[in-house]
Amino acid sequence: MRRLIALALFLLVVSLSGQADTVRITNGEWPPYLSQHYNHFGVASHIVPEALKLENFQVEYGFFPWVRSLEFAEDGIWDASIVWTFSRERETRFLYSEPVIKLRSVFFHRRDKVFEWEALEDLKGYRIGGTIGYYYGPELSKLEKSGKLNISRVRSDAQNLKLILADRLDLFPIELEVGYEVLHRNFPSQQINLITTTRPFRETSYYMIVSRKSPKANSILKAFNQGLVKLKESGRFDEMIDSAAVGGYHPVSELPK
């Protein structure tokens, strides 16, 4: 009888040790990288659980407005949040993973206009658009605050692109893939063909941030970073990025027929 009990306890321990631990991560809307309505919740949302799965963790996502996403993770109600840029102020409350994705910021403009510039300050005199509340990096922010660049802010990215098409703005800064996502969601192909982009002026890394209040913080961070290396070595990371570039994560109802 004792042997049977000991065997049962052993099998229970083995069974439990094989179960994946759950990481609870807050998320938000930022197509095509993050979206509750996209396949796998968008490409960045797909990368994170695939990397963690390789280290025997599973992911539970919660979708909230961005402010709440950050607050819930900071308070330890959820373990982590994706995806965020680096901030020294946030670093006091969160641990930063290796970059989940790296994005290039460019200026969108009409094809019938040419812009030659070496430094951002060379764009003085041009009509530049911006979206209210959005941060375009330290250099552009400094030039805006000093008045060296004329940046007019409106409520949405789509509104800025509409102003570009109407020739009421010259340039609009935005991440390359996000800009084309906004174009394809809001404008017909004839208008999209009137717009092109400059070379990148900024490359930005976006991270998973893990709450320092989570009791699993260090193990989550270690697991994700190790799993991300494996995901890249296998070639699956590049496959996911390539798929996102051709609309592979769009909802099925939006895919070309």
Which among 166, 234, 158, 207 has a CA at the least distance from the CA of 48?
Answer: 207
Q: Are residues 130 and 177 in the same domain?
A: yes
Residue 5, in any domain of the structure: no
Q: Is residue 8 included in any domain, yes or no?
A: no
Termini Cα distance of the chain: 65
Residues 160 and 218 in one domain: no
Same domain, 157 and 198: yes
Name the domain count of the chain: 2
Residues in the chain: 257
Q: Indicate whether 142 belongs to any domain.
A: yes
pLDDT for res 246:
74
Residue 176, in any domain of the structure: yes
φ/ψ (deg, to 5) at 188:
-70, 160
The pLDDT value recorded for residue 110 is 98
- Whether this model's pTM surpasses 0.85: no
Q: Judge if 243 and 121 occupy the same domain.
A: no
Residue 1 lies in a domain: no
CATH code of the domain in which 230 resides:
3.40.190.10
Please check whether residues 185 and 220 belong to one and the same domain.
Answer: no
Give bridge partners of residue 110 from the DSSP assignment: 195
Look at residue 208 and tell me if it is in a domain: yes
Both 186 and 217 in a single domain? Answer: no
pLDDT in tens, the chain (257 residues): 444 444 343 433 333 344 679 999 999 998 889 999 999 999 999 999 999 999 999 999 999 999 999 999 999 999 999 999 998 889 999 999 999 999 999 999 999 999 989 999 999 999 999 999 888 988 999 999 999 999 999 999 999 999 999 999 999 999 988 898 899 889 999 999 999 999 999 999 999 999 999 999 999 999 999 999 999 999 999 999 888 877 788 886 654 43
Output the pLDDT for position 166: 97
Tell me, yes or no, whether 45 and 75 share the same domain.
yes
Domain that holds residue 182: 104-203
> Is the N-terminal amide bond of 32 cis, ω within 30° of 0?
yes
Tell me, what's the pLDDT at 253?
60
Note the Cα 242 to chain centre separation in Å: 15
Q: Give pLDDT, residue 117.
A: 93
- Let me know whether 213 and 233 are in one domain: yes
Per DSSP, the residues of the chain read: -HHHHHHHHHHHHHHHHTSPEEEEEEE--BTTTB-TTSGGGSHHHHHHHHHHHTTTEEEEEEE--HHHHHHHHHTTSSSEEEEE---HHHHTTEEEEEEEEEEEEEEEEETT-----SSGGGGTTS-EEEETT----HHHHHHHHHTSS-EEEES-HHHHHHHHHTTS-SBEEEEHHHHHHHHHHHS-HHHHTTEEE---SEEEEEEEEEETT-TTHHHHHHHHHHHHHHHHHHTHHHHHHHHHHTTTTS-GGGS--
In a domain? residue 7:
no
